[in-house]
Structure 1
Amino acid sequence: MIPIENSWFFAASVASLITMLLHIFLGGKDAARPLLQSKGIVQSAKYTNYYCWHLVTIYIGIMAFSFLAAAVRNEYALGLTMTFAAVLNALLNLAILISKKQSFLQMPQWFIFLVIGFLGALGISSANHLAF
């Protein structure tokens, strides 16, 4: 059993892992598969977007692993970095939703990343700031 020093960073890690799984299984069905089946997109644009979809999977996995490392070591800097990334993800999604007049329910990534950011912020508040 891995000793957890910061339970909030651990919660952010679990939330990130769940997000990654949602991205793989629901995103694959709702975003990646229709993208690959589309006929009206230039091949290079289609496969670049598909590549980016995989990059997001890797990115969220790195976020989950990094929050876990921050939880085990109670590491302020790593937790801060991942929290900042989660909040930026939420803000980017909100900017796209608003500027493109999309539904908040059809693109819930903003909420998911906001939860991860909130958990990370709680972890930051209880982390060892001297390690920074």
Structure 2
Amino acid sequence: MNGWLLAAGALATVTALIHLFAGGRDVVRPLLESALPSEPMRTLHAVWHFATADLLFSGAALIALGASNTTNAPLVLFIAAHFVAYSAVFLVITLRADWSRPLLRLPQWILLLPVAVLAGVGALQMY
């Protein structure tokens, strides 16, 4: 058992649920009620659900890997890398916006980056 991976998986799953429910209310509903043309709106709606699925599948994979006696450090590092990428995207977009207190306006990175760190440490435990 790898507690680091279990923690990363649990946090990724919680993040997926927050994304699905709170984000659906705060982001998807306004998007669908906007005057955006139909094709970009539906594309963004689909991408929203892609992210939800990715967060859920990543969480499930990390939990399964953490609970098992198998080692697959490359897979864990891949999952960690894409959580780093997600965090970086949010940080870059947030910091480029002309907002006061920008890091709290789009705080998704606060949940995404710890998943990457926990998974990375968990992968190191496999070596």
Same fold (TM over 0.5): yes
- Between 94-103 and 53-62, the greater mean CA deviation after superposition: 94-103
Alignment-mate amino acid for residue 65 of structure 2? A
1:23-42 correspondence runs (5 A):
23-38=19-34, 40-42=35-37
Q: Point out where structure 2 has 5 or more consecutive residues left out of the alignment.
A: none
1:36-51 correspondence runs (5 A):
36-38=32-34, 40-51=35-46
- The match for 1:99 is 96
Q: What is the CA-CA distance between 1:94 and the residue it aligns to? A: 0.6
Contact 1:16-1:116 within 8 A present in 2 as well = yes
- Between 83-92 and 60-69, the greater mean CA deviation after superposition: 60-69
1:71-110 correspondence runs (5 A):
71=66, 72=68, 73-102=70-99, 103-110=102-109
CA distance in 2, matches of 1:110, 1:65: 20
CA distance in 2, matches of 1:65, 1:101: 37
Q: What is the CA-CA distance between 1:125 and the residue it aligns to? A: 2.0
- Between 62-71 and 51-60, the greater mean CA deviation after superposition: 62-71
Q: TM-score if structure 2 supplies the norm length?
A: 0.90
Aligned residue for 1:41, secondary structure, equals coil
CA distance in 2, matches of 1:55, 1:122: 26
Contact 1:16-1:61 within 8 A present in 2 as well = yes
CA distance in 1, matches of 2:72, 2:118: 14
CA distance in 2, matches of 1:112, 1:11: 12
Q: Given the alignment, which residue of 11, 17, 22 partners 2:13? A: 17
Report sequence identity in percent: 27
Aligned residue for 2:105, secondary structure, equals coil
How many residues are paired up? 123
Q: Point out where structure 1 has 5 or more consecutive residues left out of the alignment.
A: none
Contact 1:14-1:64 within 8 A present in 2 as well = yes
Q: TM-score if structure 1 supplies the norm length?
A: 0.87
Give the alignment's Cα RMSD to 1 decimal: 1.3
